[in-house]
Chain A
């Protein structure tokens, strides 16, 4: 009986670790794009709006993550379209979608008969209860994203840096934008199971910000932030397990501590280099 329990425990820890790896890779890559393009607020909007999809999923009795995926992609493209076509300021449009999605989610969960199970895990994440289906979906997303970035790396970089210039060269700027926006939306939704709607923005920004303290290269920010995210996830998992607190929150706590240490470290290095010059 003890042995069976050990295997069970080993299995769910293994799943959590796999989830941490998939989350770190996808958030490391797409988060670098988000931070470079200053799309953090947009990403926050997509994240919260996807709650509408979760509500609709509950109501229709389908997998809430599927509902959220459809809703998030539509939100991402919708914000881009409304901003362009209706000529309304982008941050105002984001604010509208952000709250509208949350409102839809609340309404649908309210009118769904019975108790909504796992609702809290969608809001705050729960890396220890990811299912096999979650893991498969994350794996597929990771493969697609890595292949896309490997194949089109320079084009993604150049188009993101100066879209107007790329347009004079007839590069498919709009298409690449839409694909990347969809990847942002899908990354957010599939990682909701791990970090939760309210906390996912952390993995898309904190590791990249730490990495950006030490490197200004897009490629290096990707690699370093994947490593930092991994470190943060594993350390957070350990803290969560050891002190019995929610995993999402402890992961963010770890990341912010890492940021503070990194920032102070860089300051010390700069001061030291400065002093070396006058010596």
Chain B
């Protein structure tokens, strides 16, 4: 397994507050990492560091492959609630904007690139939306279009920020099946404050609660979580998957 990104002794935060302390962590090819933790625990901060939107206060982040550092081989699916749903942009353009980095700021988009965007849309079962504009999509459709945008550049690493939050259960299930397929080609990091359904798909778990704990398995016990001081819905796998709720004790 080849290493893609390494974070070494990294701390980060905003203004006068450190949100994340001493993160040591590497991302390898074909990883499927679930990042869990409470709100305000630093999940988004960690993503911003990896995406290069935020500079670490201490420590360093190293990208081991050409393109990763310029993000041209990282795909990103942001949380969609902040998006302006009335913005006049077509589905085609949303997907093509995933190639922005590769194309530079002047180039026109070719027919081949448009065909690629269309193929992705067909794969996600949305071919009927090709001519539509953003305002005509449902929440689940928007998420899928944004997923197309994130993967059109065939990235080495795909980062998803709480993709299951604003969609129905059926779409969530379909999305994770899609991710399982994609994982054959790329490493995936998925953020969630509730690992309920994703624990079945991910390979490893990272728990972010100001501190960073990496757990190299997709099963995490109540004891371990308690040791991490991580108040989160707990999942174990058995014949019947079940959830145990663990309260935060401070």
Contacts and interface: CB of A to CB of B under 8 A. Distances in A.
A118 interface: no
Given A162-B97, A168-B76, A217-B133, A157 B71 contact: no
A36 interface: yes
A154 interface: yes
B36 to A, nearest CB: 22
A161 B108 contact: no
Contact of B71 (A170, A172, A215): A170
Given A170-B101, A171-B101, A216 B76 contact: no
Contacts of B125: none
B94 A169 contact: no
A166 B99 CA distance: 10
Contact of A168 (B74, B84, B107, B133): B74
A91 interface: no
A151 B106 contact: yes
Contacts of A151: 106
Contact of A171 (B74, B78, B105): B105
A270 interface: no
Interface stretch (B17-25, B85-93, B167-175, B201-209): B85-93
B1 interface: no
Contact of A157 (B74, B83, B93, B136): B93
Contacts of B106: 151-152, 155
B71 A168 contact: yes
A217 B51 contact: no
Interface residues of A, number: 28
A91 to B, nearest CB: 16
B135 A155 contact: no
B124 to A, nearest CB: 18
Interface string B127-152: 00000011110000000000001000
Interface string A210-238: 00100111100100000000000000000
A161 B84 CA distance: 8
B52 interface: yes
A266 interface: no
B6 to A, nearest CB: 19
A168 B84 CA distance: 18
Nearest to B133: A216
Most B CB contacts (10 A, CB to CB) among A168, A212, A221 go to: A168
A161 B71 CA distance: 19
A151 B90 CA distance: 19
B237 interface: no
B72 interface: yes
Given A36-B87, A162-B97, A221-B88, 15 more contacts: A38-B84, A157-B89, A161-B84, A161-B87, A162-B83, A164-B53, A165-B149, A167-B53, A168-B52, A168-B76, A169-B100, A170-B70, A170-B71, A171-B100, A216-B88
21 contacts: A36-B87, A38-B84, A151-B106, A154-B97, A154-B109, A155-B100, A155-B105, A158-B93, A161-B84, A161-B94, A162-B83, A164-B78, A165-B78, A167-B53, A168-B51, A168-B74, A170-B101, A216-B90, A216-B133, A217-B88, A218-B88
